[in-house]
Structures are given as structure tokens and as C-alpha cells.
């Protein structure tokens, strides 16, 4: 009986912590996002292709939620990755992300795109950028 109560208590605690977390970006905390952006820039030169691809998608999501931080170094790094990326997929994603970050109308142009599904994000960006 004690094990059951303990397990139930731990499970309910974990569920409450998960639901208490806010998964949206806070535009007021730009210093935190600038630090995150620096880490993303570092990750763009990582030797693992999966980390680089994930970083590119995360950069697009960050720009969507927090467009106020400066992205020029990021755009330059993405342009370099689009030209010199290790894999074709990295070059492709970097090209799309660079165009997305350079477009001044991207909040309005891409407002209805859901950012939860990465493949849908890339597909819809391709459709809009053509």
C-alpha cells in the first residue's frame, strides 16, 4: 500500500510539473535568448549533422517567437552552411532558414504555420518561398 501511495504521489508531482511549464518564449527575456542564439551559432559548426539540422529548425522557431533579437550573424552563418554544409540536407535547411530569417514580412507571411511539426514547417516554408 505504501509503494502504491508513493508511486501515485510521485506520478502526480511529475504530471503537475509538466503541465506547469510554459512552452512559449517570453519576449521580455531577450538576454536569455541572445545567449541561446550564441549557443545555436556554436551548434551550427558541430560535426554531428543531426545537431546542425535540429539547430537550424530551432533557429526558425526562435525567430518566430522572439523576432526582436539580432539575427544578422545567424543569417551569415546559415548562408555559409547553405554553401558549405556537410550534407545536402544541411545545405537545404540552411538555405530555407536563411531566407526565412531575411524576410522582413515573415511574421505575417508565416503566421498560420504551426511550429510543432518540423516537417510541416519546412514544407509550408518551401511553398511560401517559391
Residue-number span of the structural domain to which 79 is assigned: 26-129
Instruction: Supply the pTM of this predicted model.
Output: 0.66
Residue 9 resides in a domain: no
Contact call for residues 59 and 33 (beta carbons, < 8 A): no
Residue 77 resides in a domain: yes
Residue 21 resides in a domain: no
What is the spatial distance between Cα 63 and Cα 109, in angstroms, rounded to a whole number? Answer: 13
Count structural domains, the chain.
1
pLDDT in tens, the chain (130 residues): 666 555 655 655 555 555 455 555 455 577 788 888 888 888 888 889 888 988 998 888 888 777 778 888 889 999 999 999 999 989 988 998 888 888 756 655 556 665 566 676 777 767 766 6
Beta strands in 1-130, from DSSP E residues, in sequence order: none
Contact call for residues 43 and 55 (beta carbons, < 8 A): yes
Long-range contacts of 13-21 (CB under 8 A, 24+ apart): none
What is the spatial distance between Cα 102 and Cα 124, in angstroms, rounded to a whole number? Answer: 17
Amino acid at each position: 500500500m505504501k509503494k502504491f501511495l508513493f508511486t501515485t504521489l510521485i506520478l502526480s508531482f511529475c504530471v503537475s510539473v509538466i503541465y506547469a511549464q510554459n512552452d512559449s518564449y517570453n519576449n521580455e527575456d531577450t538576454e536569455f535568448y541572445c545567449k541561446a542564439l550564441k549557443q545555436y551559432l556554436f551548434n551550427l559548426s558541430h560535426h554531428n549533422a543531426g545537431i546542425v539540422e535540429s539547430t537550424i529548425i530551432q533557429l526558425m522557431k526562435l525567430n518566430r517567437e522572439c523576432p526582436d533579437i539580432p539575427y544578422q550573424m545567424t543569417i551569415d552563418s546559415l548562408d555559409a552552411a547553405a554553401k558549405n554544409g556537410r550534407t545536402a540536407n544541411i545545405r537545404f535547411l540552411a538555405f530555407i532558414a536563411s531566407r526565412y530569417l531575411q524576410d522582413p514580412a515573415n511574421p505575417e507571411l508565416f503566421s498560420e504555420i504551426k511550429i510543432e511539426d518540423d516537417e510541416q514547417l519546412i514544407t509550408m516554408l518551401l511553398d511560401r518561398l517559391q
